[in-house]
Chains A and B, each alone.
Chain A
Amino acid sequence: MKKRKIALKDLRRFSALYIMLIPGIIYLLINNYMPMAGLVLAFKKVNYQIGIFQSPWTGLSNFKYLFSTKDAAQFFRNTILYNLAFILLGNLLGLIVAISLDSIKQKFFKKMSQTIILFPYLLSTVIVSYIVFAFLSGKNGFMNMTILPLFGIDPISWYNEPSHWPVILTITFLWMSFGYSSILYYSTLIGIDKSLYEAAVVDGAGVWAQIKFITIPAMKTTVITLVLMAVGRICYSDFGLFYQVPMNSGMLYSTTQTIDTYVYRGLLELNDIGRSTAAGFLQSVFGFICVVTANTVVRKLDEDSSLF
């Protein structure tokens, strides 16, 4: 009798908790699970009149259509190569900045640097594109009017010449994100036991020896974790960086088109929904494989850092 009473009380408690979960569950169903089901659209010929889910099946024709042009190879290549460059340079810069920050003893300079380097990370891509435009604008940009004349170089029409953009976009990415990765690494760095360095100095270790034998080993797990997490997202790109920063300039597609911009342009600018769904499908599936693989590797190395 008593046991049943407790069970009843628990039941009331649990139902209150389940009710709390309902709004979130509904949102996840709409925002996340319905689109997952929507991936089947890659195998359909979408017709808005019939209704998107009622549209007829077409087998693999969307994929054949996607790979019938050389666009697909181009934007897959761009996505992967940019990500590799971002991962390599972004983490390297983050580490260098973290080590520099940690070594600086002058309090005001240290505080000020920590504050200022995070600032670009707070900006929207639209503002970033304004800043890039102020530098690269053909008529009165800072580069063409001030920097290039110093070296006697003729003005460059930046928004029409694709060959410059791998460098521009990489610099822009690093500028936007290095504060974030630096602060992350720095928070690991300050956790290193200071007596290790003191002992090393007593043993006659120089700066590089200290970095090599103390700092780097202590940072290893954080570095590996962050790199692998980024590898898990190698099929994705920052839409704003590749769409808005190059000003959606058609002349630059060969070096600025990524999966995300291609999918967006296909769907909303060119009304080419078949290719978009096919490219999006491949992104989701490869993205899933990459995340799971990366996470499995992280878990092998350091269970606490893995996502699941």
Chain B
Amino acid sequence: MIHENKAFKLLTYFIMAFLVCSCVIPFVILISSSFSSEASLANFGYGLFPKEFSLKAYEYIGGVKSDILHAYLMSFIYTAVGTIINVILSLLFAYPLSVKDLPGRKIISFFLFFTMLFNGGFVPTYLIYSKIFHINDSPAAMIVPYLLMNPFFVIMIRTYMTTNIPTEVLEAGRIDGAGEGKLLYKVVLPMSKPIIGTVALMTAIAYWNNWTNGIYFLTIRRDLYGIQNYLNQVLSNVQFLATHSAGFVSVDSIPNVSIRMALAVIAVLPVLIAYPFFQKTFVAGITVGSVKG
């Protein structure tokens, strides 16, 4: 810690206060406009405080618009299923790689690692998933491509296992006649809980925030949209109307400003509520994953 003089101290407080405000103000604008009446938004624009308080937007969402809740539910399902499969796949891959005498371990590690250096990019990935495996317009499109197993997380878990689980513990289990599957489930899994928590959290955030798979693969089945794609569609329609005055999109199908902002607030809410509880795990994920897995 730097031993500072008054001016420096003031400067650091000023910098942090400024940046903290820059992070908070956009949310304040978002939330305040979701509680504003439509007329006040039209007259005064987005502001820091609601000029005319109104709950209409939330009443609307809670009332008629069941497709919003549907999209919300889909996001929860994708996040839960994707995260569970990801954790299982990653554990199953990481554990054998942590067993030092496994023949071919180096080759398999390289097989995994090489995918972090080189990739085919969007076009071949898209064509293979859509023209060979035909996952377009199915729930699998939201879960499988890109996100199902992150090589980086596998390496993180493997490193955690090799450094935190003593070989003696595993050897003792083997002498007692436990198979590798049982060892993984009864010994390795409980001992790897912290890293599994970190990986599960990072994966869950990635799934919750994912919307690219939706615009890549869900072109017809809009009913499979998660909340992010739903929001994306709403905003695109608004912009489309703004640029093409006589558009193909009917005006009625577009929620007005306050409802759009309320939608955004609702999409952020789960993360916002959960964040204080997972902050420590999240920071651990950033710092562990950063330099070397």
* Interface residues in chain A, defined as those with a beta carbon under 8 Å from any beta carbon in chain B: 10, 13-14, 16-18, 20-21, 23-25, 27-28, 30-39, 41, 46, 48, 51-52, 96-97, 99-104, 109, 112-120, 122-127, 129-131, 133-135, 137-142, 144-146, 159, 175, 178-180, 183-184, 187, 194, 197-198, 200-201, 206-207, 210-211, 214-215, 222, 225-226, 239-240, 244, 247-249, 260, 263-264, 267-268, 273, 276-277, 280-281, 283-284, 287-288, 291-292, 304-308
Chain A residues near B16 (CB, 8 Å)? 97, 100-101, 104, 109, 113
Cβ–Cβ contact B20 & A36, under 8 A: no
Chain B residues near A273 (CB, 8 Å)? 123
Complex Cα gap A38–B212 (Å): 20
Look across to chain A and name the residue whose beta carbon is closest to the beta carbon of B133: A30
Complex Cα gap A17–B24 (Å): 49
Cβ–Cβ contact A197 & B3, under 8 A: yes
Chain A residues near B205 (CB, 8 Å)? 122
Task: Give a binary string over B87-98; 1 marks a CB under 8 Å from any A CB, 0 the rest.
Answer: 001101101100
Chain B residues near A248 (CB, 8 Å)? 236, 239
Can you report 12 A-B residue pairs in the complex whose CB atoms are below 8 A from each other?
A: A21-B92, A24-B90, A35-B124, A100-B13, A102-B2, A131-B29, A134-B33, A179-B23, A207-B8, A280-B123, A305-B291, A305-B292
B254 contacts the other chain (CB 8 A): no
How many whole Å from B266's CB to the nearest CB in chain A? Answer: 11
| Neighbour of B23 across the interface among A100, A117, A125, A144, CB < 8 A | A117
| Neighbour of A41 across the interface among B116, B127, B292, CB < 8 A | B127
B68 contacts the other chain (CB 8 A): no
Q: Which residues of B from 88 to 140 have beta carbons under 8 Å from A?
A: 89-90, 92-93, 95-96, 99, 101-103, 108, 111-113, 115-128, 131-133
Task: Give a binary string over B1-24; 1 marks a CB under 8 Å from any A CB, 0 the rest.
Answer: 111110011011101100110111
How many whole Å from B154's CB to the nearest CB in chain A? Answer: 7
Q: Which residues of B from 177 to 203 have beta carbons under 8 Å from A?
A: 179-181, 184
Chain B residues near A32 (CB, 8 Å)? 115, 119-120
Interface of B is mostly: helix
Complex Cα gap A17–B123 (Å): 34
Complex Cα gap A34–B145 (Å): 12
Q: A24-B89, A24-B154, A263-B121 are in contact. Are A103 and B275 (CB under 8 A)?
A: no
Cβ–Cβ contact B291 & A225, under 8 A: yes
Chain B residues near A141 (CB, 8 Å)? 45-46
Complex Cα gap A128–B8 (Å): 33
How many whole Å from B136's CB to the nearest CB in chain A? Answer: 11
Complex Cα gap A109–B209 (Å): 29
Complex Cα gap A73–B228 (Å): 33
B246 contacts the other chain (CB 8 A): no
Chain A residues near B144 (CB, 8 Å)? 31
Chain B residues near A184 (CB, 8 Å)? 286-287, 290
Cβ–Cβ contact A17 & B122, under 8 A: no
Cβ–Cβ contact A175 & B22, under 8 A: yes
Cβ–Cβ contact B19 & A31, under 8 A: no
How many whole Å from B111's CB to the nearest CB in chain A? Answer: 7
Q: A17-B102, A133-B235, A247-B236 are in contact. Are A140 and B45 (CB under 8 A)?
A: yes
Q: A20-B93, A103-B8 are in contact. Are A31 and B146 (CB under 8 A)?
A: yes
Cβ–Cβ contact B287 & A18, under 8 A: no
Cβ–Cβ contact A215 & B2, under 8 A: yes
Task: Pick the interface stretch among B53-61, B159-167, B257-265.
Answer: B257-265
Chain B residues near A179 (CB, 8 Å)? 23
Cβ–Cβ contact B127 & A52, under 8 A: yes
Cβ–Cβ contact B23 & A28, under 8 A: no
Chain A residues near B29 (CB, 8 Å)? 131, 134-135, 142
Look across to chain A and name the residue whose beta carbon is closest to the beta carbon of B260: A130
Cβ–Cβ contact A183 & B283, under 8 A: yes
| Neighbour of A284 across the interface among B45, B121, B154, B242, CB < 8 A | B121
Cβ–Cβ contact B1 & A102, under 8 A: yes
Look across to chain B and name the residue whose beta carbon is closest to the beta carbon of A278: B123
